[in-house]
């Protein structure tokens, strides 16, 4: 029960997002395609026998009792199992890139390995779902088609693609968007084939761009290089490119008020190979 482990905690994109209904418990039924990226946060784990889990590098704005890294660790910890976790944060908060969910899932995978708990992927995904709807896809660590509230996953192999992700200077509240009376909640379910034929959208996009002028501006600019789309409830927007050079070329033309991230899509998270 000792050792040091450093892992990428990857960001994700929602390549589309259809909201197909609303459940009695307040959660929304949806369809989406989660695309993992080769870019994200970095987490360093040092296991020990202190019986405590400590964390450094976390945003000061998030209380410990709400921090998904610490909450994930507490789901697994027992006895004298302990760890120190250091977070190097790159994924912006409130951007729709899944930073907190990815951190939680990476923590579950890392501590399951370091503490030699031998929990299988299905159990870790089940635990992850108690922390948030986006946690299971990061725990499964594969690009996937998702249904239900996001926990019903089907791995999907996508062709290699590069993305330019723009980070507007605003923060979108997921709760605000999902509770908004103007949000579309009755999209008809589609098959995976329909996505590849181009029959998809983000049901949150029109509402978000109406509420946030900066996001509307980003989408308008990025549409010059291909179909621009919101990820999740935003604030980040993205477009796909056939090569890294094309994505970097578009980034070089980006207005100064935005941050631009060039990342490659991955079908499998590097976390899986790191834990073999």
CB 11 within 8 A of CB 137: no
Among candidate residues 12, 41, 64, 246, the one labeled active-site is: 12
Assess whether 134 carries a catalytic annotation: yes
Token pair, residue 181, equals 């009376």
SS3 129: helix
Nearest CA among 141, 188, 235 for reference residue 29: 188
Q: 10 to each of 57, 171, 240, 272, how far by Cα in Å?
A: 17, 20, 18, 12
Angle in degrees, CA 237, 162, 103, rounded to 5: 65
Q: Of 25, 64, 118, 134, which residue is the catalytic one?
A: 134
Q: Which of 2, 11, 32, 128 is nearest to 72 (CA)?
A: 128
Distances (CA, A) of 11 to 34, 38, 84, 191: 10, 8, 22, 25
Decide if 191 is catalytic: no
Active site residues: 12, 134
């Amino acid at each position: 029960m000792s050792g040091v482990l450093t892992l990428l905690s990857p960001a994700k994109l929602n390549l589309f997002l259809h909201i197909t209904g609303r459940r009695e418990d307040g959660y929304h039924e949806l369809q989406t395609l989660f695309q993992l990226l080769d870019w994200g946060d970095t987490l360093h784990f040092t296991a020990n026998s202190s019986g405590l889990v400590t964390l450094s590098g976390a945003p000061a704005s998030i209380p410990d009792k709400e921090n998904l890294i610490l909450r994930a660790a507490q789901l697994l910890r027992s006895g004298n199992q302990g760890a120190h976790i250091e977070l190097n944060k790159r994924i912006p908060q409130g951007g729709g890139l899944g930073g907190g969910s990815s951190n939680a899932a990476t923590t579950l995978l890392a501590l399951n390995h370091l503490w030699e708990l031998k929990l299988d992927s299905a159990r870790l995904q089940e635990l992850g779902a108690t922390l948030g709807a986006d946690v299971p896809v990061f725990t499964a660590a594969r690009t996937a088609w998702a249904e239900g509230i996001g926990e019903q996953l089907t791995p999907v192999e996508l062709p290699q693609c590069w993305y330019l992700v723009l980070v507007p200077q605003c923060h979108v509240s997921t709760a605000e968007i999902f509770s908004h009376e103007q949000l579309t909640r009755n999209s008809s379910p589609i098959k995976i084939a329909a996505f590849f034929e181009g029959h998809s959208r983000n049901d949150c996009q029109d509402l978000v761009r109406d509420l946030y002028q900066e996001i509307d501006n980003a989408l308008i600019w990025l549409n010059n290089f291909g179909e621009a789309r919101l990820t999740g409830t935003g604030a980040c927007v993205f477009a796909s490119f056939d090569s890294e050079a094309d994505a970097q070329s578009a980034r070089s033309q980006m207005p100064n008020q935005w941050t631009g991230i060039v990342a490659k899509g991955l079908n499998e998270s590097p976390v899986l190979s790191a834990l073999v």
